[in-house]
Amino acid sequence: MTGENGVRVPWAAGDQILWRYRAVDGPGFHVCRPVTVVRDDPEVLAVWMAPGTECVRPVLADGTPPHAEPLATRYTKPRTALRDHWTGTGVLKLARPGEPWSVWLFWHPDWRFKNWYVNLEEPRHRWDGGVDSADHFLDISVHPDRSWQWHDEDEFAQAQRAGLMGPRQARRVREAGAAAVEAIRMWGAPFSDGWPAWRPDPAWPIPVLPDDWDRTSAHVSS
């Protein structure tokens, strides 16, 4: 959020904001997730997406989930946005300012820690109501034993063939991925910060998805 004279004011724990991703096939957004702020400071923005949260996710115009569409046409068929509910366990998302990825934490239903997931993306643009980014297709999962593996390399390649990402941007994404792998190997922040032991405040309500979830936002800071 912003205060007087456009100065950034950190969100407080318990504030509700939107975490959005721009559409891959045109203007606007195709992912919107209402989340609760856990921590917001110069080191990290941490937010919690609770189970059962109403979100927005992309589907093809005929209602087909993107991952059910053959890879060759996954990014060429028209898409639309669908309001739906998050059916899995909750997700803790960690984003360090300026980094071209965010780190997500997943747990089993009994709160046994499952894994980290590094989502390569544009550095987030902050606005009064939340943060906006664009997904870069390529991801990394990190297991409790510190082993890791790439994900969605086929989608990353297809996005380039479909013209959604040029050679220069693809190189930048690969460089970002290499930097993320180095952070994993060094086991620095946020992996070493004890987040698997974190738990949400049970008093937090599930955030509500607003009707104007796709409204245009003014850029505040990264």
pTM: 0.93
**Single-letter residue type at 196:** P
User: Residue 168 and residue 92: Cα distance in Å, rounded?
Assistant: 31
Task: Give the CATH number of the domain where residue 179 resides.
Answer: 2.40.380.10
Q: Could you give the number of structural domains in the chain?
A: 1
Domain that holds residue 54: 4-197
Q: With b meaning 16 or more CB within 10 Å and e meaning fewer, what string describes 159-186?
A: bbebeebeeeebebbeebbeebeebbee
The model's pLDDT over 163-189, given as tens digits with 9 standing for 90+, comes to 999 999 999 999 999 999 999 999 999
Within a domain: 210? no
End-to-end CA distance of the chain: 12
Within a domain: 99? yes
User: Residue 14 and residue 35: Cα distance in Å, rounded?
Assistant: 9
- Of the CA atoms within 13 Å of residue 192, those in its CB half-sphere come to 7
Within a domain: 124? yes
Within a domain: 187? yes
Within a domain: 215? no
Within a domain: 172? yes
For residues 12, 28, 150, 156, the Cα torsion angle rounded to the nearest 10 degrees is -160
Asked if the bond preceding 97 is cis, omega within 30° of 0, the reply is: no
The model's pLDDT over 69-125, given as tens digits with 9 standing for 90+, comes to 999 999 999 999 999 999 989 999 999 999 999 999 999 999 999 999 999 999 999
Within a domain: 211? no
Within a domain: 109? yes
